[in-house]
Structure 1
């Protein structure tokens, strides 16, 4: 696709990147077949190819309208289209450039501005989010259903391992996971401990940056990235061998740090190193498969349905590892029909686009429950909470199941 960039974006990092991405697109339309919003809405402009046309028009100087913004807002950034695309179009990066332009050129309605500002200020701030979540969990039975859906039941806490090991790995605790689902982090640490690896958490590290980035607060998002790099760097210098991610949404974002900070002379090199070290827990455990089998035993849960998050299978291009590992531990893993499709969680999407989000959730749950599982497992806190709000079948992180099987 040939482009003629407008003066406002020509010879800028965003302009150069948009131009390169657009030139790879051949308009084949394969992406529309796997786009969740196109499948529901049937509008070309609510599919990747249509949104690419909109972004092309805006970088060439066409008027950017509220309608353009609406179509970009409806995108889940699931990146399913990237997996499907035969030309390697990096749509996720392109749509973020498009959203940045619309935020600069289109004034949102006041209500939207207030909601988005609140989400960007509140959700990534654990000092605010954690006490609010604890209050919400305490009074959860009294909350209206829509609000109760956003407040997972409080978990009975597991004990953090205290053993010291020569092998050490960092782990991002995250901004919402410690209060919403703290046992995901503890279970990860306990599994690694059983395998002779000590898990370290840098107290100063916080939100990975995804929430503010996807809401259009780019400068604040980049500050989140820099804060995490500063927090992790002493541990990296001391020899931490990996930065472990158990929330695939965070992992997909941290693996983009090198790209997002490529033009920051103070952080570009460190960001590259962070990206090199970042690994989803499903990428780490295969190295320990034999040892993990040796320290595990069969439990009552033997059949699960697995929802692979978009940020795992499309964002990080990780497929099959969770299924293989659970199968090695004696668990039957069943994938639902159209397992490549998004569940509708997508960070704050369920709050900004509730109708589409819940339609996708219900569709996903119907296909998961058709597998007749004892438990539904996933790999991202947002997906787990979103799915659990629509079913009585237990929904958990797969690493919690692995921890439950430890015999030590």
Structure 2
């Protein structure tokens, strides 16, 4: 693609990076075949190729974002299926993240939209606030039909029937390995996940310890920054990321870390990108060090020789977009489940998003609902006894549309190799 940035514009490292990405695009359109929003809406501007043109015009002009551009960028899930499909290696993730930062700086959203985004940014990354918000939402759920905006109704519908307290395992501490220590790892306990489902971190810690890992929950680590980052709020996202970098570097420079284990794939994609996020800052080297040690829990378990198990159930595996497209981790979770004794089946169109995409199902509930219905139908068509996924957002999204139990992959692996039966499967 031909670009027309000025020499002055290209002195900005962000625009220089955007120029590199844009010039890699050859307009082939392969991305349209795997773009979920294009599949649903059929609008060229709701495809990666269309959005690339919109972003190019917006960034080259240097003008504030306009309402039409904002509409189509907001509709992007950031599922990154286009990056898997693209034969030219266009790094759409970095481009759309920059577009969102430009929108956040230059476009004044309508009051309700602005307010909803501010609430999400100030609540979801903070477990205590999020837990309290869910309790209040649960009380307000009977009033959902009276809400004037579909997004408000979606937020109330998100509230689970039961909101648990924090797990004692989430506090900063060190869990010794069972038997001889093989490796020392940090576990990212995250933010929203440890409110929505405390069992995932608990199962991860149990399993890693049985396999010879000393597991550290580092003091000062918290939200990865993805939620703010994908809303264009770079100041907040970089502050959260910096806190993690400093917390994990303290462990690396202290007793050392062989890996940083992440069991929420949306977070993993972001942490693995810390080197890019901080490439022009004083934290560049530390950020790259952290990013290089980040591993999805399935990647880590493949290195630890998970023992064979006797799972016995028919499992439909949902591959989260952030795992298969963002991190290119595709075979490890399925191979682990098979080794643990489960029968693994995959749905049709497994490359397509379920519609969760961080806060997408709250900010774009109509499109997210259509994608959820498609995903649930393809999963249920496989007649599974349980659905497994590696991302809490996907679990909540899919779980709200089916009666089939939805659990994290690591919960099944823990159970099949000596841990307790996942609560979602019942007694």
- Coarse TM-score class (shorter-chain normalised): over 0.9
- CA-to-partner distance for each residue in 1:71-128, whole Å, 9 max, x for gaps? 0000000000000000000011111111222222221111111111111111112231
* SS of residue paired to 1:315: coil
What is residue 122 of structure 1 aligned with on the other side?
A: 123
Q: Is the 8 A contact 2:166 2:195 kept in 1?
A: no
Tell me the distance in 1 between the aligned counterparts of 2:385 and 2:165. Answer: 20
Q: Which moved more, 1:120-129 or 1:6-15?
A: 6-15
* Match status 1:376 vs 2:387: yes
Tell me the distance in 2 between the aligned counterparts of 1:252 and 1:406. Answer: 28
What is residue 39 of structure 1 aligned with on the other side?
A: 39
Tell me the distance in 2 between the aligned counterparts of 1:199 and 1:142. Answer: 42
Deviation at 1:374, TM superposition (A): 0.3
Aligned equivalent of 1:170, options 173, 181, 186: 186
What is residue 230 of structure 1 aligned with on the other side?
A: 246
Tell me the distance in 2 between the aligned counterparts of 1:117 and 1:159. Answer: 30
* Match status 1:182 vs 2:198: yes
What is residue 396 of structure 1 aligned with on the other side?
A: 407
What is residue 257 of structure 2 aligned with on the other side?
A: 240
Deviation at 1:150, TM superposition (A): 3.8
- CA-to-partner distance for each residue in 1:3-49, whole Å, 9 max, x for gaps? 11157743101110010001100000000000000011100000000
CA spacing shift, 1:115–1:158, aligned 2, 3 Å? closer
Deviation at 1:142, TM superposition (A): 6.1
Q: Is the 8 A contact 2:348 2:378 kept in 1?
A: yes
TM-score w.r.t. the length of structure 2 is: 0.89
What is residue 51 of structure 1 aligned with on the other side?
A: 51
Tell me the distance in 2 between the aligned counterparts of 1:163 and 1:241. Answer: 15
CA spacing shift, 1:68–1:60, aligned 2, 3 Å? same
Deviation at 1:287, TM superposition (A): 2.0
Tell me the distance in 2 between the aligned counterparts of 1:152 and 1:47. Answer: 37
Tell me the distance in 1 between the aligned counterparts of 2:272 and 2:349. Answer: 26
Q: How many residues align?
A: 401
Q: Is the 8 A contact 1:155 1:183 kept in 2?
A: no
* SS of residue paired to 1:400: helix
Deviation at 1:157, TM superposition (A): 9.4
CA spacing shift, 1:99–1:135, aligned 2, 3 Å? closer
* Match status 1:313 vs 2:324: yes
Deviation at 1:132, TM superposition (A): 3.2
CA spacing shift, 1:152–1:246, aligned 2, 3 Å? farther
Tell me the distance in 1 between the aligned counterparts of 2:3 and 2:175. Answer: 57
* SS of residue paired to 2:316: strand
What is residue 24 of structure 1 aligned with on the other side?
A: 24
Tell me the distance in 1 between the aligned counterparts of 2:102 and 2:418. Answer: 54
CA spacing shift, 1:234–1:151, aligned 2, 3 Å? same
* SS of residue paired to 1:19: helix
- CA-to-partner distance for each residue in 1:36-66, whole Å, 9 max, x for gaps? 0001110000000000011111122175311
Q: Is the 8 A contact 2:317 2:389 kept in 1?
A: yes
* SS of residue paired to 2:304: helix
Aligned equivalent of 1:191, options 207, 219, 227: 207
What is residue 149 of structure 1 aligned with on the other side?
A: 158
What is residue 325 of structure 1 aligned with on the other side?
A: 336
TM-score w.r.t. the length of structure 1 is: 0.93
Tell me the distance in 2 between the aligned counterparts of 1:54 and 1:141. Answer: 38
Tell me the distance in 2 between the aligned counterparts of 1:143 and 1:382. Answer: 24
* SS of residue paired to 1:279: strand
Q: Is the 8 A contact 2:35 2:81 kept in 1?
A: yes
Deviation at 1:141, TM superposition (A): 8.5
Deviation at 1:303, TM superposition (A): 0.4
What is residue 12 of structure 1 aligned with on the other side?
A: 12
Let me know the Cα RMSD of the aligned residues. Answer: 2.2
Tell me the distance in 1 between the aligned counterparts of 2:176 and 2:59. Answer: 55
Q: Is the 8 A contact 2:313 2:385 kept in 1?
A: yes
CA spacing shift, 1:195–1:52, aligned 2, 3 Å? same
Q: Is the 8 A contact 2:175 2:216 kept in 1?
A: no
* SS of residue paired to 1:168: strand
Tell me the distance in 2 between the aligned counterparts of 1:287 and 1:97. Answer: 35
